[in-house]
Structure 1
Amino acid sequence: MLLRLPTSVSGAQECLSEGAVPIGGATLVWATWQRDGFPELAESLREVPEANVLGRETVGGAVVLHRMDDRMPDVLRRAAAAVGTGAVRRSATVGGNLVGSALRCLLPAATVLDARATVLDSDGVHETDLAELVTKRPVLLSLRWREPIASAYRKLAGEAGGPPPLVVASALYVDGGGDLLRVAVRDGYDVLSGSVPGVTDTEEALHTLRAAAFGDLPTAAWDVVRSQVAGLLGGRDTD
């Protein structure tokens, strides 16, 4: 296998046009390649500046998970810290997790941040939403979002060999004159999401979420949502 390391977006696009396979940190594909055979040509974005940005409202697709520190919103930082082992987090990338993984452990966090993706495909660079990112699976250059005033994340313990563990992520924003709450839940391989504009109190927010997005959640999952929402809104309820 020949590995290309382009140093620019145009170079990365040229590699794609030549049939190069994006590999991220290769933590997910290596075993498959050992079994089924390696591609002739692959590329990594680790030398492309646009794919290595890291700040309060952006992260590059080539950034490895262990670099996601307290510059990130809590929800995204904690999501990255909960992926695999330390060795995995030192190799796995944001793009590999969101685009190359069926688990997409970062997706609930990115969803509540309402993140937008800058991607590269055969037509060039463009911006898209998360739904298109996970469906069409282009090369992720970076994510960007608006920083929330508070956020939270919880990943429950899973059984070895069982379904993916439950994940609940949430973020709170000041939106105009009121608050906006976003919640996302990974239940199995599906990510469900809902939002509540003009939040006034915890019970009203929970009622809205339950009716609009999370009516079919198991009781145990809903209990986690309830606890997390109450924690985010605890100091902001009105009489």
Structure 2
Amino acid sequence: MFVRLPTSVSEAQECLAEGAVPVGGATLVWASWQRDGFPEQAVSLREVPEARVVGDGALGAAVLLHEIDARVPEVLRRAAAGVGTGAVRRTATVGGNIVGSTLRCLLPPALVLDARAVVLEPEGPVETDLAELLAKRPLLLSLRWREPVATGYRKLTGVLRGEVPFVVAVAVTGAERPVLRVAVRDGYDVLSEAVPYDTDLRRMLGALALTALGTLPEAVFEAVREEVVGVVERAGAC
């Protein structure tokens, strides 16, 4: 297998047009390639500047999980820190986690940040929403978002749906018309809801309880409540 390392978006487009398969950090595809056979050529974005950005409201698809630091919101940083082992985080990429993984540990944080995806289409980079990204699985270049007011994250290792722990991500976004966003990974699915931000905490929690989040196990919704309380307190202090 020949791995191509383009240094620009245009070069990456050429690689894709010539049949190169995106490789990411290869933590997810390597076993299947060993079983089913390796492609003739693969392409990695690790030398493409647009896929290596960290900070200022952006996170590149080729960024390794262990490289995610205080330049991004806490909700993303904590989610990345909880993925697998240190060895996995030193090889797995943002793009591979969101597009290639079934667990998609970074998806709940991306949803509560109301992030947009910059993907590489034949005509060039195009911005799209996360739903289309997951449905069509194009080559992800980066995630982009507006700076949140406050965020929170929790991984419920003691509460499982099968072998998959629940994850709770919360954020208050929007300065002029703030919105409270909550996303919960339930098994291999992610529930995401948003309600208008309100200084009346009880009213906001009541609104969330009327959504699909209200059908979650009691221990999980309690974790949602606690994270919402913490995020609202931090938002009020900003």
The answer to whether TM tops 0.5 is: yes
Aligned to 1:118: 118
> Does 1:204 find its partner at 2:226?
no
Structure 2 CA distance for partners of 1:21 and 1:161, relative to 1, 3 Å? farther
Equivalent residue pairs, number: 236
Deviations 1:197-231 (A, max 9, x none): 14122211111111123132111211110111111
- Matched residue type, 1:119: V
Give, in whole Å, the separation in 2 of the partners of 1:158 and 1:62: 31
- Matched residue type, 1:163: E
Moved segments of 4+, more than 4 Å: 158-161
- Matched residue type, 1:93: T
Q: CA RMSD in A?
A: 1.8
Give, in whole Å, the separation in 1 of the partners of 2:221 and 2:31: 36
Give, in whole Å, the separation in 1 of the partners of 2:47 and 2:232: 41
Give, in whole Å, the separation in 2 of the partners of 1:181 and 1:56: 21
Aligned to 2:49: 49
Following superposition, the deviation at residue 179 of structure 1 comes to 3.5
Unmatched runs of 5 consecutive residues or more in structure 2? none
CA contact (8 A) 2:113 2:173 kept: no
Give, in whole Å, the separation in 1 of the partners of 2:2 and 2:161: 34
Aligned to 1:17: 17
Aligned to 1:27: 27
Structure 2 CA distance for partners of 1:18 and 1:160, relative to 1, 3 Å? farther
CA contact (8 A) 2:150 2:232 kept: no
- Matched residue type, 1:98: I
Give, in whole Å, the separation in 1 of the partners of 2:90 and 2:45: 15
Deviations 1:166-209 (A, max 9, x none): 00000113532x53211100001111111121412221111111
Aligned to 2:60: 60
Following superposition, the deviation at residue 158 of structure 1 comes to 6.2
Q: Percent identity among equivalent residues?
A: 64
Aligned to 1:92: 92
Aligned to 1:77: 77
Give 3-state SS (helix, strand or coil) of 1:157's partner: strand
* Correspondence 1:122-161 to 2 at 5 A: 122-157=122-157
Give 3-state SS (helix, strand or coil) of 1:232's partner: helix
- Matched residue type, 2:231: L
Aligned to 2:221: 222
Aligned to 1:173: 173
Structure 2 CA distance for partners of 1:235 and 1:113, relative to 1, 3 Å? closer
Unmatched runs of 5 consecutive residues or more in structure 1? none
Aligned to 1:5: 5
CA contact (8 A) 1:60 1:143 kept: yes
Following superposition, the deviation at residue 116 of structure 1 comes to 0.5
CA contact (8 A) 1:158 1:164 kept: no
Structure 2 CA distance for partners of 1:236 and 1:160, relative to 1, 3 Å? closer
Deviations 1:42-77 (A, max 9, x none): 000001111111113101110001111011100000
Deviations 1:107-146 (A, max 9, x none): 0000000001110133432110000111111111111101
Q: Which moved more, 1:75-84 or 1:30-39?
A: 30-39
Give 3-state SS (helix, strand or coil) of 1:99's partner: helix
CA contact (8 A) 2:64 2:93 kept: yes
Aligned to 1:164: 164
Structure 2 CA distance for partners of 1:11 and 1:167, relative to 1, 3 Å? same
